[in-house]
Structure 1
Amino acid sequence: MTHNQVVSSIKDTDLVEKRRNQMIQGAITLFKEKGFHRTTTREIAKESGFSIGTLYEYIRTKEDVLFLVCDAIYEQVGARLEAAIDWQNPSVATLEKVVASYFHLMDDMQEEVLIMYQEVKSLKKETKAYVMQKERDMVAMLQKVIVTCLPEPIAERDAALIANNIFVQGQMWGFRRWMLQKQFTLKTYIDRQIHFLLESLPIDTAADEKLN
């Protein structure tokens, strides 16, 4: 299943995108308040600003809405990472830019990410597998940035682990906000995480000091 395979009886793709974005925002509000299982499709329609009949022109089931929420998150993450990567001029500074951009996005999408991880278990096996693959794709993109931007070679396994660390650290800003956001500003959090990241990488010390 992909975003475009969620069945709609409406052929106007721009309208479908507009209505589904409304559904996503409405569903996020309700899932945050009530959870996926206690939220009805009628409530999602009302929160989104249209009738239940209109809702079913764009989706088939409530699970479709949850899938669209998950898919939208990963589409935005992928787009944000791609926009921050300068493949023609890879450098440690580029890596820092990508990590900072990802952390900022995780700050912007705290509610969406929390809901996704709380409710992804409600997806059917095949749709859950699609969502998990999207996450692997995002981590793989971070891994590629690490390998490409470092001046010295790094073992594939190490790059994979570091990429996973970055991915989770971004999400942690939302998951543990009850503690972290009382102790750090977003800027301080990003600065410290990048500092620790650079310390763990095979970068020449003099070059590292020059960068910072």
Structure 2
Amino acid sequence: MAEKREIQSSVKDETLIEKRRTQMISGAVMLFKEKGFHRTTTREIAKAAGFSIGTLYEYIRTKEDVLFLVCDAIYDEVHARLDSLTHGAPSAQALKTAIRNYYLLIDDMQDEFVVMYQESKSLPKDALKYVLDKEVEMVAIFERLLEESVRSGELTLSAKEVKLAAHHLVVQGQMWAFRRWALHGDYTIEQFIDTQTELLFNGITKADQYVKGESR
């Protein structure tokens, strides 16, 4: 698991730190989306969060710290929603539940996902490495669920196909945030989840049959 990057704070109350940083994230996401990371100032973030610039610097040291917190909040939510899946459930059903939970998370945090992928390049090297490592961990959750479905006989995929399918599941979900301007007029989130899940499972089955046919 990626080692969490420490954000320095002069405040010792962990509950207050979490509260203030949540306010910062909310304000920053709106500004980063509208103006971009580089054109947004820490003073604007403080104002959007509802407190002074002096208070802001009690909880973070740089604007990059705020961007890091936005990214980290996404991955915390991913793990909160996916790590708790029941391992005793049928493998394919667990996979479908994970897809649903992840896509609903993207619906809840659409702006955060857009900001993360557009602006994460502005993070310092150590923070960017942490974010990329967390992305790999997120994909690994789906790899594990796909592997369990293979072991149970519900899917037939090679190890390389499992890895590609896991990345595919993650990226297809993110489409709901990045292509919302085109999708939201035609689909509700529930319709999007149902259609994507059906396409993904049918696609996996058909691709497997095609590969087997080609190899004969």
Contact 1:3 1:68 survives alignment (8 Å): no
Q: How many residues align?
A: 202
| Whole-angstrom distance in 2 between the partners of 1:142 and 1:11 | 37
| Whole-angstrom distance in 1 between the partners of 2:86 and 2:205 | 20
2:58 is the counterpart of 1:57 = yes
Contact 1:90 1:148 survives alignment (8 Å): no
TM-score by length of 2: 0.88
**Deviations along 1:172-203, whole A, 9 cap, x unmatched?**
01101111222222222111111122223459
TM-score by length of 1: 0.89
Change (3 A) 1:3 1:50: farther
Secondary structure of the corresponding residue to residue 172 of structure 1? helix
1:169 is matched with: 172
Unaligned runs of 5+ in 1: 204-212
Question: Which letter does structure 2 place at the counterpart of 1:139?
Answer: V
Secondary structure of the corresponding residue to residue 185 of structure 2? helix
Cα RMSD (Å): 1.7
Question: Which letter does structure 1 place at the counterpart of 2:92?
Answer: V
Contact 1:23 1:48 survives alignment (8 Å): yes
Question: Which letter does structure 1 place at the counterpart of 2:125?
Answer: K
1:206 is matched with: none
Secondary structure of the corresponding residue to residue 24 of structure 2? helix
Structure 1 runs of 4+ aligned residues shifted over 6 Å read: none
| Whole-angstrom distance in 2 between the partners of 1:147 and 1:201 | 13
| Whole-angstrom distance in 1 between the partners of 2:131 and 2:83 | 19
1:30 is matched with: 31
| Whole-angstrom distance in 2 between the partners of 1:158 and 1:46 | 48
- The share of aligned pairs that are identical, in percent, is 51
**Deviations along 1:41-89, whole A, 9 cap, x unmatched?**
1111111111111111110000000000011011111111123x21123
1:108 is matched with: 108
Contact 2:5 2:127 survives alignment (8 Å): no
2:15 is matched with: 14
Map residues 47-196 of structure 1 onto 2, 5 A cutoff.
Answer: 47-83=48-84, 85-150=85-150, 151-152=152-153, 154-196=157-199
Question: Which letter does structure 1 place at the counterpart of 2:89?
Answer: N
| Whole-angstrom distance in 2 between the partners of 1:88 and 1:146 | 15
